[in-house]
Chain A
Amino acid sequence: MSKPERNVILFEDILARNKKANVLFLNYDNEAFMNTGVQESGATPPYASTTTGPGGEKIPGKIGIKQDLVTPFAFFGTKSLFLATANPAYPADFMGKVADALKSNGSAFIQTYSDCMRGWRHDAGDAASISKLATDCGYWPLYTIRVKDGIPTFSYYRGLDIDKEKFVEYLKSMGKFKHLFKPRFMEKEIDEIIYFTEQRNLKLKGLIEQFGAEKPVDFYKVNRRTLKPQDHLHPGHGLCPGCGAGMVLNQMATVATAIAGNNIIYVNNTSCAEVSTSKDFVGSWKVPWVHHLFESGATIADGISTTYKILKAKGLYKGEVPYVIHIGGDGSTYDIGFQFLKAALIRTSSFVEMNEYLANQK
């Protein structure tokens, strides 16, 4: 088989596009309820130790699967939807995807890997290398799905092949899997984690085969030196040293600054990023930022975006409709917030046409 062709996407080309997302929904996945103290969530991988599913002598951590959150959205039959996984350890890919999402019509959902050194039990200094390893070992593949008129088109960047050696190294690097190695080597459980990851990747490869783009490898070219530092978040915030969400917010805001300037509204579900950037009168945000409930953020983001469009259509708002980014942790996307995310994603992904109706009304 010949080498799959690369689709090189230049950041400048994305910026030049005359398109705009209604809402970008961004899930930073740290694989447990970290904000409340490392409780198990739908995003927790099998056999990971959490405070509500500790790696015990009889039961070795989480019994269950890590839900696949992104691919099912590809098959809801939406009109215009951008879906992707990302990893801040691959900043060019991450930033390219955020830009691509914001500059695509309809709506977008990006699920990004987000290291949590406290919850995963490793040194703060290891965050970047562990994040990189996650994709390199095949645990966190980086792929993109562009849905147009109900048909998904899959493409990928890397991380679809399992490297077993690296995978074991990945598991060993974190305290949350320590019980699988000591005091007894739990071969069956380790094999099972790898097996289920492999099965998921097989499914992805199958989807790429069936719904793949002509050039299936997306390669974002972002010259970070030409980008101005982000202007949305003050440097002061309460995130832990080495927090993956910090990397996510910084890279996201850099792209958002380049695209939206300050014409942007952020919505945050209850999560680490929420509590650590909004405390008392020392909020970290330089742009409007909204927190409503644990689960409702996606709906709030949709509501704000639609409001600006209808006010503009009625002549009650003169400015440019602002960009809206919704940030949620895994609880507010996988679990309690799923209903809201799913519905808002589908509403906003077909609202392009609805806007035309609104604009044409006299």
Chain B
Amino acid sequence: MSIEPMKLFFKEIKEPIETAMIGNYAVAGGVTQTDPDVVCAFPITPQTQSVEGLSDVVHQGRLKAAFVNVESELAAISYSTAACAAGARTFTATASQGYLLMSEGLPMPVGWRVPLTMMISARAFNAPNISIWNSWEYVITDYGWNCIVSENVQETYDASILSVMISDNSLFPTMFVHDGFIISHSVQKLWLTPDEIVRNLTPKKPRHTITPERPGVWGGLVTPDFFMEGRMGLDVAKKSVLNVMKKSFDEFGKATGRHYNLIETYNLDNSSKTAFITMGSMCGNIISWMTKNKDIGLIKIRAYRPFPYEELQKIVQEHNIEKLIILEKSDSLNNLLPPFSTSIATALYPLNTIFRSFIVGLGGRDVTRDEFDITKRKMKSVNDMKGQLYTYLGVRESKNKIHEVDL
């Protein structure tokens, strides 16, 4: 039994191929091309097909790797961390509850500086109900992983290769995210990169590993005399990661013709001096809506962690953006703003840019063009930073009433 879309990856890809497939298989293919040594994960919707695809290439003999089925996500992240620390190029993937269950193990690959890569198929977490559909669970915690977010299948395929480059060059683990179902399960057109180019982009480099040749203690106990030095050391090392990302994007762009940036912008020099700011699959929808709404721009965050705050400030200043509409697929019941918006607000603090945050599309709800219209209209009357800074959008209040919307 072989998985049909994976067949493309069984033969050496010599020329760029134009094809169509779902996000998860595209990632499985991209990861295959980077020649991982260990793949270890636990299944969870909507992540699962990515590792199914990888088990297929391993079991059919295309990829020489240890594909390991473990008993839980905490075991998956532990196994992957150990394998990566022992010298294997390692890939894992998860979503939602799996990501939460991994939490205890997520800081370790950061602390040990192992270049692990992980795909996240973003999905809501349980409360008050279970939802297997899209929300941004990955923004609620931050353990120091690099994080890039993809808008479509092409971007997530490219991210599977870019993440290996970024991880290897920064020696920090990298997660790459696509929106669950919206990208993970939708068939879209994409170009596959030739194997030779991927091999050249992702050479296996020597690094410090757990080996009898270099005995050492990994993860031992430290007293209050030493712990803070370790933490600050990591912070200092993180400072260069955005540059590593930029270089990797450049290198990738030169080799494939597909150019990415930490932040991508569209139509910022518009008459209303207003722009959306968001990330992920919504951006495509906004761009097509913008063909009839030329008085508004879009800022798309591609590198979410480390957060490129200097680049964002530069963009807002250079284009004289006065108002920002933040669209976010997560919420915070306690904070002044939800997590993604908090990062934006912190970056905007010295600039006094006016913004409002709109919580949309939780649990896989469609984010519609009507909603873009509504946010645009609402933003026209916003001229200060007083009152509640966020609102839920597209929520049914009663049979004939949508929350905060007059139809």
A-B complex is real: yes
Q: Tell whether B68 is near chain A: CB-to-CB under 8 Å.
A: yes
Bound together, the chains give a CA A186 to CA B264 distance in angstroms of 76
Contact A307 B78 (CB under 8 A): no
If A275-B221, A310-B37 touch, whether A343 touches B70 (CB-CB below 8 Å) is yes
Pick out which of these stretches binds chain B: A90-98, A147-155, A201-209, A295-303.
A295-303
Q: Tell whether B104 is near chain A: CB-to-CB under 8 Å.
A: yes
Pick out which of these stretches binds chain B: A48-56, A126-134, A159-167, A279-287.
A279-287
If A310-B88, A339-B72, A343-B71 touch, whether A303 touches B220 (CB-CB below 8 Å) is no
Contact A310 B38 (CB under 8 A): yes
Contacts of A286 in B (CB 8 A): 215
Interface readout for A271-296 with B: 1 if CB under 8 Å, 0 if not?
00011011111010111111111011
Contacts of B213 in A (CB 8 A): 319
Contacts of A301 in B (CB 8 A): 82
Bound together, the chains give a CA A322 to CA B204 distance in angstroms of 22
Pick out which of these stretches binds chain A: B48-56, B58-66, B231-239, B354-362.
B58-66
Interface readout for B205-224 with A: 1 if CB under 8 Å, 0 if not?
00000111111111111110
A162 to chain B, nearest CB (A): 37
A237 to chain B, nearest CB (A): 12
Contact B66 A291 (CB under 8 A): no
Contacts of A314 in B (CB 8 A): 37, 64
Q: Tell whether B318 is near chain A: CB-to-CB under 8 Å.
A: no
Bound together, the chains give a CA A207 to CA B250 distance in angstroms of 67
Interface readout for B182-225 with A: 1 if CB under 8 Å, 0 if not?
00000000000000000000001000001111111111111101
Q: Which residue of B lies closest to A360 (CB)?
A: B61
Contact B79 A303 (CB under 8 A): yes
Bound together, the chains give a CA A299 to CA B81 distance in angstroms of 10
Q: Tell whether A181 is near chain B: CB-to-CB under 8 Å.
A: no
Bound together, the chains give a CA A314 to CA B210 distance in angstroms of 18
Bound together, the chains give a CA A339 to CA B38 distance in angstroms of 21
Contact B61 A278 (CB under 8 A): no
Pick out which of these stretches binds chain B: A12-20, A214-222, A249-257, A259-267.
A259-267
Contacts of B71 in A (CB 8 A): 339-340, 342-343
Q: Tell whether B402 is near chain A: CB-to-CB under 8 Å.
A: no
Contacts of A361 in B (CB 8 A): 61, 64
Query: Which residue among A265, A289, A292, A316 has the maximum number of chain B CB atoms within 10 Å of its CB?
Result: A292
Q: Tell whether B226 is near chain A: CB-to-CB under 8 Å.
A: yes
Q: Which residue of A lies closest to B78 (CB)?
A: A296
Contact B88 A311 (CB under 8 A): yes
Contact B216 A288 (CB under 8 A): yes
Contacts of B66 in A (CB 8 A): 306-307, 309-310, 358
Bound together, the chains give a CA A39 to CA B223 distance in angstroms of 23
B94 to chain A, nearest CB (A): 15
Contact A304 B86 (CB under 8 A): yes
Contact A288 B75 (CB under 8 A): no
Contact B220 A340 (CB under 8 A): no
A294 to chain B, nearest CB (A): 9
Contact A317 B87 (CB under 8 A): yes
Q: Tell whether A313 is near chain B: CB-to-CB under 8 Å.
A: yes
Q: Tell whether A178 is near chain B: CB-to-CB under 8 Å.
A: no
Q: Tell whether B348 is near chain A: CB-to-CB under 8 Å.
A: no
Contacts of A313 in B (CB 8 A): 64
Contacts of B225 in A (CB 8 A): 280
Contact A279 B223 (CB under 8 A): yes
Contacts of A278 in B (CB 8 A): 217, 220-221
If A296-B105, A310-B88, A311-B87 touch, whether A285 touches B217 (CB-CB below 8 Å) is yes
Contact A304 B83 (CB under 8 A): yes
Q: Which of B65, B72, B218 contacts A289 (CB 8 A)?
A: B218
Q: Tell whether A157 is near chain B: CB-to-CB under 8 Å.
A: no
Q: Tell whether B74 is near chain A: CB-to-CB under 8 Å.
A: yes
Q: Tell whether B134 is near chain A: CB-to-CB under 8 Å.
A: no
Q: Which of B68, B81, B226 contacts A292 (CB 8 A)?
A: B81
If A280-B226, A309-B66 touch, whether A340 touches B212 (CB-CB below 8 Å) is no
Q: Tell whether A308 is near chain B: CB-to-CB under 8 Å.
A: yes
Given A283-B217, A339-B75, 7 other A-B contacts at CB below 8 A?
Answer: A274-B220, A280-B223, A290-B219, A299-B70, A316-B37, A339-B71, A361-B64
- On A, residues with C-beta under 8 Å from B are 262-265, 274-275, 277-281, 283, 285-293, 295-296, 299-304, 306-311, 313-314, 316-317, 319, 322, 339-340, 342-343, 347, 358, 361
Q: List 12 A-B contacts (CB under 8 A).
A: A265-B211, A285-B217, A289-B215, A291-B221, A299-B70, A302-B79, A304-B82, A311-B88, A322-B211, A343-B71, A347-B68, A361-B64
8 closest Cβ pairs, A-B complex: A278-B220, A303-B82, A296-B78, A283-B217, A307-B86, A343-B71, A300-B82, A291-B219
